């Protein structure tokens, strides 16, 4: 049920930003442990005064993907999982606050606590390390605003934008609806009703220098906020409809925050007048698609919305526009990696994550039909990627792999490029791999199986 304007005094966006739970803040509520109740999680939509009581409108998606809105009193809300926060020291003021993310929320059952909720959080340390702390009194925890998404709207060439690029604080991830309440173990040293993960050990420091593909959570560097230029205006909105394409940027291309920031600015591009967003505007104009870049996530996500104004054209009719947008975005990524051999894997992974006729469902090798970026003629073929184990490269077995396979692959009408040290194409950005390509899909599927079998046998 949504709030009626006759019964409440609503806060505007500027006023909401000063509240404990601003618009876009992920929250948990309905903590009661009574039988039949369910813990819920959602996103703050708005806030208002109902009489003397501060209330929030919270939205979430149910199992049928319907958007549900509920009105919840402020005292019933706790910060949700992954919510960005600042945590003040137990014995100092906010000037010494640490930045972090909420991991676990608990409803305190002890009358000695000053807050109704206790938290466990991931706290960012210097460099790329984090540590986990539990038993944090809710009085020490405050919401921390993030510039987490950039929505690039239509502009006119060298004139002021009718709608500026948007930076919002709401996470781009779709929020799930009610989740069944369980009875997890209590947090150390406190009587409480815990709500999420017990798999993280409290006090354990994590070195984020591990391979990005194995990382389950976003990494935050010492500089946790990347400030975009003043041309980006903050707005509390984000496209609500599902994108027609969703491109997940490979993790190996954004192994640290600085690289992610550089990639973001490369994708946005600048006009001759220094205006940020030039590349996205060009894609908007030439492909007739609208682009949104969600960058404070791992992985970074690019959402593509076809400009189907009448909302009547079937999705299949939009494939030419979507393909044009995808190819232009792929070219931007290829420009970012330059001559590094990773561009073959890059194009394949981006193409593979996008729905369309270029991605045949029956391919046993997960092949896609796309431009081979390791060649200069930009001709299309079916391409697929096979990983080469790192020990193969260390022991020099990848040279043997090439000698034994190149003939048999050619005999079935395909070709292959090994991207690794000692070959024409090398890479410093991703793991070594074999790029297999050919004119016919069934030939590529067969060639990939030959390569995979040979790697297993070697």
Q: Which of 243, 194, 214 is nearest to 356 (CA)?
A: 243
DSSP secondary structure letter of residue 369: E
| Dist CA 244 CA 289 (whole Å) | 9
| Dist CA 442 CA 285 (whole Å) | 37
Q: Which of 334, 307, 164 is nearest to 241 (CA)?
A: 307
CB atoms within 10 A of CB 7: 11
Condensed to tens digits (0 to 9), the pLDDT of residues 413-443 reads 999 988 888 888 888 889 999 999 999 999 9
pLDDT of residue 337: 86
Q: Which of 160, 200, 172, 161 is nearest to 184 (CA)?
A: 200
As a whole number of Å, the end-to-end CA separation of the chain is 63
In order of their start, the domains of the chain are: 340-458 (3.30.70)
Quick check: 433 and 344 in contact, CB under 8 A? yes
Q: How many residues are given for the chain? A: 458
Task: For the chain, 458 residues long, give each residue's pLDDT as a single digit of tens.
Answer: 566 666 778 888 788 888 999 988 889 888 765 455 677 888 888 899 988 889 999 988 666 556 788 999 998 899 988 788 999 987 666 667 888 888 888 877 665 554 578 888 888 887 667 788 888 988 899 998 764 334 433 333 333 333 333 333 334 344 444 444 433 333 444 444 444 333 333 333 333 333 333 333 444 433 333 344 333 333 334 445 788 888 888 888 888 878 888 888 888 887 666 677 888 888 888 888 888 888 766 678 888 888 764 554 545 556 788 888 888 898 888 888 888 889 899 999 999 988 888 888 889 999 999 988 887 666 789 999 999 888 777 777 777 788 888 888 999 999 998 888 888 888 888 999 999 999 999 999 999 999 999 888 87
The tokens for 417 are 């490029």
Q: Which of 267, 423, 264 is nearest to 341 (CA)?
A: 423
Q: How many CA atoms lie within 13 A of 89 on its CB side?
A: 5
pLDDT of residue 348: 93
Is the C-alpha dihedral spanning 152, 157, 159, 162 positive or negative?
A: negative
In sequence order, what are the residues at sequence separation of 6 or more whose Cβ sits closer than 8 angstroms to the Cβ of residue 129?
A: 205, 206, 207, 208
The enclosing H or E element of 290 equals strand 289-294
The tokens for 428 are 């410093």
pLDDT of residue 236: 34
| Dist CA 434 CA 369 (whole Å) | 16
Quick check: 207 and 128 in contact, CB under 8 A? yes
Condensed to tens digits (0 to 9), the pLDDT of residues 210-246 reads 333 333 344 443 333 334 433 333 333 444 578 888 8
């Amino acid at each position: 049920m949504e709030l009626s304007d006759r019964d409440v005094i609503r806060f505007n966006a500027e006023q909401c930003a000063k509240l404990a739970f601003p618009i876009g803040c992920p929250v948990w509520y309905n903590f009661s442990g009574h039988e039949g109740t369910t813990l819920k999680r959602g996103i703050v939509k708005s806030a208002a005064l109902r009489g003397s009581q501060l209330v929030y409108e919270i939205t979430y998606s149910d199992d049928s993907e319907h958007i549900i809105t509920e009105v919840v009193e402020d005292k019933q809300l706790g910060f949700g999982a992954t919510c960005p926060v600042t945590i003040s020291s137990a014995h100092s003021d906010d000037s010494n606050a640490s930045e972090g993310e909420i991991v676990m929320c608990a409803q305190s059952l002890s009358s000695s606590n000053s807050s109704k909720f206790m938290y466990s959080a991931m706290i960012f340390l210097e460099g790329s390390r984090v540590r986990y702390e539990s038993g944090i009194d809710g009085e020490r925890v405050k919401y921390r605003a993030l510039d987490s998404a950039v929505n690039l709207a239509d502009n006119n060439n060298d004139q002021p934008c009718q709608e500026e690029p948007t930076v919002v604080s709401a996470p781009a991830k779709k929020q799930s609806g009610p989740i069944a309440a369980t009875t997890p173990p209590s947090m150390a040293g406190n009587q409480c009703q815990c709500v999420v993960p017990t798999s993280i050990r409290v006090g354990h420091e994590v070195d984020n220098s591990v391979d990005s593909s194995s990382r389950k959570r976003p990494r935050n560097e010492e500089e946790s906020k990347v400030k975009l230029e003043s041309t980006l205006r903050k707005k509390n909105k984000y496209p609500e409809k599902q994108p027609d394409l969703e491109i997940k940027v490979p993790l190996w291309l954004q192994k640290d925050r600085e690289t992610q920031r550089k990639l973001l600015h490369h994708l946005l591009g600048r006009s001759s007048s220094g205006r940020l967003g030039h590349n996205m505007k060009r894609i908007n104009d030439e492909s007739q698609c609208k682009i949104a870049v969600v960058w404070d996530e791992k992985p970074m996500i690019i959402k593509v919305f076809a400009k189907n104004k009448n909302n009547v054209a079937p999705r299949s009719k939009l494939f030419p526009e979507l393909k044009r947008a995808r190819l232009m975005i792929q070219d931007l990524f290829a420009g970012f990696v330059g001559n590094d051999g990773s561009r073959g894997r890059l194009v394949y992974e981006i193409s593979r994550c996008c729905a369309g006729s270029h991605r045949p469902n029956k391919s046993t090798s997960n092949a896609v039909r796309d431009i081979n970026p390791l060649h200069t003629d930009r001709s299309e073929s079916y391409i697929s990627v096979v990983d080469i184990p790192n020990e193969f490269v260390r022991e020099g077995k990848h040279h043997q792999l090439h000698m034994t396979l190149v003939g048999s692959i050619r005999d079935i009408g395909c070709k292959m490029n090994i991207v690794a040290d000692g070959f024409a194409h090398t890479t410093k950005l991703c793991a070594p791999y074999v790029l297999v390509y050919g004119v016919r899909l069934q030939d590529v599927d067969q060639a990939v199986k030959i390569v995979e079998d040979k790697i297993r046998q070697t």
